[in-house]
Chains A and B, each alone.
Chain A
Amino acid sequence: AQSVTQLGSHVSVSEGALVLLRCNYSSSVPPYLFWYVQYPNQGLQLLLKYTTGATLVKGINGFEAEFKKSETSFHLTKPSAHMSDAAEYFCAVSDRSGGSNYKLTFGKGTLLTVNP
């Protein structure tokens, strides 16, 4: 079964600093990869996704992520943190084998706090 590991349940950065949220997956074949964000008292919304093609994926709100097959990683970055980025971030994976394409496995989440 595939799994997703998010390193660091809580990341704290200063406003204007680089944001780096780590995600590693285990899958025997290249998977589909996603980052979702959850703001307080809301459901999750998609930030970005990787399916095929370019390994550097740009998403909403200035976030981007790079798929590195050799490292089985899909880390999320943003050059300069803003106070409004404070939220919980979830990495998710769905591999391409069999009939399970439409079911996502989520990581445990990383809570990002942004300090003024």
Chain B
Amino acid sequence: DVKVTQSSRYLVKRTGEKVFLECVQDMDHENMFWYRQDPGLGLRLIYFSYDVKMKEKGDIPEGYSVSREKKERFSLILESASTNQTSMYLCASSLRWTVPEKLFFGSGTQLSVL
């Protein structure tokens, strides 16, 4: 079965720090996504990538950037962490971009910015 692995389950950072969240998938999927999940707000798309070095903004990209240098790895970068970026971050992948395939999710990274 497809495995999507997020490098950290819990992360605590200070305001102003540069933060890297890493995600790796093991099934050669074309698409990878970063969502943030907040109580009462559901999942909101930050960025997605449909190929190596290709990326598109989602609904809430401000304050974030991404990197996809290899097909299996998709990194989310908080350039200067702020307290309002305290959230659960979920990475997901899907096989192709031509149809809306099933998303496979990682277990999430709970980020706290103090």
Given contacts A43-B106, A49-B102, A94-B100, contact A103 B4 (CB under 8 A): no
Is the pair B99, A107 in contact by a Cβ cutoff of 8 Å? Answer: no
Q: Which of B97, B98, B101, B103 contacts A44 (CB 8 A)?
A: B103
Residues of chain B with a CB closer than 8 A to A90's CB:
42-43
Of the four ranges (under 10, 10 to 19, 20 to 34, 35 or more), the interface on chain A belongs to 20 to 34
Question: Which A residues, 34 to 49, have Cβ-Cβ distances below 8 Å to chain B?
Answer: 34, 36, 41-46, 49
Complex Cα distance, B104 from A36, in Å, reads: 10
Given contacts A102-B97, A104-B100, contact A43 B42 (CB under 8 A): no
Separation in Å of the A104 CB from the closest CB of chain B?
7
**Does B105 lie at the interface of the complex (its beta carbon under 8 Å from any beta carbon of A)?**
yes
Question: Which A residues, 80 to 116, have Cβ-Cβ distances below 8 Å to chain B?
Answer: 90, 94, 101-109
Q: Which of B4, B94, B101, B102 contacts A43 (CB 8 A)?
A: B4
Q: Closest chain A residue to B107 by CB distance? A: A43
Complex Cα distance, B31 from A106, in Å, reads: 17
| New contact pairs (11) apart from A43-B107, A44-B103, A104-B103, CB-CB < 8 Å | A32-B100, A41-B107, A43-B4, A43-B105, A45-B105, A102-B94, A102-B97, A102-B100, A106-B35, A106-B42, A106-B44
29 pairs, CB–CB < 8 Å, chain A vs chain B = A36-B103, A41-B107, A43-B4, A43-B90, A43-B105, A43-B106, A43-B107, A44-B43, A44-B103, A44-B105, A49-B102, A90-B42, A90-B43, A101-B98, A101-B99, A101-B100, A102-B31, A102-B48, A102-B50, A102-B99, A103-B45, A103-B48, A103-B100, A104-B45, A104-B100, A106-B35, A106-B42, A106-B43, A109-B42
